[in-house]
Structure 1
């Protein structure tokens, strides 16, 4: 049976020093949320594939690592050493290579396995709610994005290049985060996304009240 411990330690090594909101704390929450989705929706899946993909999904992200090709090779070796089967490794890579919001802009929404849908929902839930607000602010600060510019309207992105040009922290709510609840796959994911979105809407009401004082 494949061992999750080496995957956990590898993710901790690669993501432990991240300061953009994609650190080890993030993938731990994604892994925990994925387990909760499985339990709440009573889903029958390959638990190892889900957990490994949750821990590894940002270790090959170009927002986090400089050499994506090398990162994928290291992940491959880590999974082999952990005892994952060839089928599991292929499945995990399919999930983590097609997980991001920007990937959908580039290639369009792809049909995911149930395991992939669970990890995607768990990852996107961590972009919502109180944690989502803090992560968005943290990422924006790390990339010198302004908090808010009243004259700068939110955009609708249709390609990866425009999406990566940057935005204001507040516009990111409208350009990405508030769209996520409609992209959820699992029953629990949909419910939790709406709950977290409601919290963010309340936050924005107070934000505008204080910003325009």
Structure 2
């Protein structure tokens, strides 16, 4: 499914999210490792920004889980995590509370959206959607709903840092993720300062 994905939601992204989730699980003794890992692997399989028909894609995931004999009770838990963990879902104010398993997967996914790799993924996504890199006359959007957030017009790739990425560190759940998030947040701040300095040719 992710073989030709070019927006930063590719197989390496999934692998990193799984690895991060595995690290966080070790610090959260009440978590269910299978639920966490399954949700981490599957969290983008029916994301509405990646698939043409979200319902059909979700049904395929359910059929797959049934084929490998994952009980329906566990499937419901996995789907509940995937359905409620995204940043865009939070913007709808309809996201249901996540249990510790969901919080771990959400943290792992959000950590991969920030830091050095997060910077690269942001540029990948913007280029794929023909979003301009930077324009000083276009200000970051404020108080967005999901529809506005998903629009790639009237914004820039660099604006995405103010619109989402720099906010992530304050929306991490676990202590492990919060510690990692602080370092990755600083990487982005350093990058943005250098980017804007070079854009203005201030160093010359």
TM-score by length of 2: 0.94
Are 1:20 and 1:142, in contact at CA under 8 Å, matched by a contact in 2?
Answer: yes
Are 2:84 and 2:97, in contact at CA under 8 Å, matched by a contact in 1?
Answer: no
Are 2:39 and 2:78, in contact at CA under 8 Å, matched by a contact in 1?
Answer: yes
1:172 and 2:160 matched: yes
Spell out, residue by residue over 1:116-147, the C-alpha distance to the aligned partner (whole angstroms, 9 max, x if none): 00000000000000000000000000000011
How far 1:37 moved relative to its partner? 0.8
Spell out, residue by residue over 1:156-183, the C-alpha distance to the aligned partner (whole angstroms, 9 max, x if none): 1331111111221110001000111111
How far 1:109 moved relative to its partner? 4.8
Alignment partner, residue 88 of structure 2: 102
- Distance in 2 separating the partners of 1:108 and 1:150: 34
Where do 1:151-166 residues align within 5 Å? 151-166=137-152
How far 1:16 moved relative to its partner? 1.8
Aligned with 1:198 (options 179, 186, 203): 186
Tell me which stretches of 4 or more aligned residues in structure 1 moved more than 4 Å.
Answer: none
Alignment partner, residue 50 of structure 2: 64
Are 1:157 and 1:163, in contact at CA under 8 Å, matched by a contact in 2?
Answer: no
Alignment partner, residue 24 of structure 2: 37
How far 1:110 moved relative to its partner? 3.0
Question: SS at 2:92's partner residue?
Answer: helix
Question: SS at 2:84's partner residue?
Answer: coil
Q: Number of paired residues?
A: 199
Are 2:108 and 2:177, in contact at CA under 8 Å, matched by a contact in 1?
Answer: yes
TM-score by length of 1: 0.90
Q: Which runs of 5+ in 1 are unaligned?
A: 1-13
Aligned CA RMSD, in angstroms, stands at: 1.1
1:91 and 2:77 matched: yes
Alignment partner, residue 121 of structure 2: 135
- Distance in 2 separating the partners of 1:27 and 1:157: 29
Higher helix share: 1
CA shift in 2, pair 1:79/1:141, >3 Å: same
Q: Which runs of 5+ in 2 are unaligned?
A: none
1:23 and 2:23 matched: no
Are 1:153 and 1:171, in contact at CA under 8 Å, matched by a contact in 2?
Answer: yes
